[in-house]
Structure 1
Amino acid sequence: MNLISLTPLDLGLAALLILALAALSLWLSLGLERTLLVSAARMTLQLWLVGLVLKVLFNNATIGWIALGAGFMILVAGREVMARQQRRFAGVWGYGLGTLALAVPSLTIILLALLVLVRPAPWYEPQYAIPMFGMLLGNSMTGVAVGLDRLTQTAWQQRSVIEARLLLGQTWDQAISDLRHEAARAGMIPIINSMAAAGVVSLPGMMTGQILAGSPPTEAVKYQILIMFLIAANTGFAALGGVWLGSRRLFDERERLRLDRLKNR
Structure 2
Amino acid sequence: MTIDPENWEVALAAIFLILNAALSLALNLGFVRQMTIAAVRMVIQLSLIGLVLDVILTSKSAGLTALVACVMVGVAGYEVMARQEAPLKGIWGYGLGTGTMLFGAALVMMFALNVTIQPEPWYDPRYAIPMFGMMLGNAMTGIAVGLNALSTDLISRRAAVEAHLLTGATRWEALAPTMRRAANAGLIPIINAMAATGVVSLPGMMTGQILAGADPAQAVRYQLLVMFLITGATGIGLVIAIFGAALRLTDNRHRIRLDRLKRD
Greater mean alpha carbon deviation, residues 28-37 or residues 121-130? 28-37
**1:206 paired residue number:** 205
Residues 1-265 of structure 1 correspond to what in structure 2 (within 5 A)?
1=1, 3-264=2-263
Greater mean alpha carbon deviation, residues 17-26 or residues 226-235? 17-26
Distance 1:257 1:27 in 2: 44
Q: Is the 8 A contact 1:19 1:37 kept in 2?
A: no
**Equivalent residue of 1:264, what SS?**
coil
**Equivalent residue of 2:199, what SS?**
coil
State how many pairs are aligned. 264
Distance 1:250 1:36 in 2: 33
Structure 2: gaps (5+ residues): none
Normalising by structure 2, report the TM-score.
0.96
Distance 2:157 2:28 in 1: 35
Structure 1: gaps (5+ residues): none
* Structure 1 residue ranges, 4+ long, deviating more than 3 angstroms after superposition: none
Question: How much does 1:158 deviate?
Answer: 1.1
**Equivalent residue of 1:44, what SS?**
helix
Per-residue CA deviations over 1:213-254 (Å, capped at 9, x if unaligned) read: 221111111100000000011111111111111111111232
Distance 2:76 2:48 in 1: 17
Per-residue CA deviations over 1:19-77 (Å, capped at 9, x if unaligned) read: 22212222222222232222211111111111111112112211111111111111111
One-letter code aligned to 2:86: R
Distance 1:196 1:96 in 2: 32
One-letter code aligned to 1:160: A
Distance 2:104 2:12 in 1: 40
Distance 1:33 1:42 in 2: 14
State, as a whole percentage, how many aligned pairs show the same letter.
50
**Equivalent residue of 2:262, what SS?**
strand
Distance 2:192 2:219 in 1: 21
Normalising by structure 1, report the TM-score.
0.96
Question: How much does 1:16 deviate?
Answer: 1.9
Please provide the CA RMSD for this pair.
1.2
Greater mean alpha carbon deviation, residues 214-223 or residues 115-124? 214-223
One-letter code aligned to 2:141: T
Distance 2:195 2:259 in 1: 39
Distance 2:33 2:105 in 1: 34
Q: Is the 8 A contact 1:98 1:242 kept in 2?
A: yes
Distance 2:151 2:29 in 1: 29
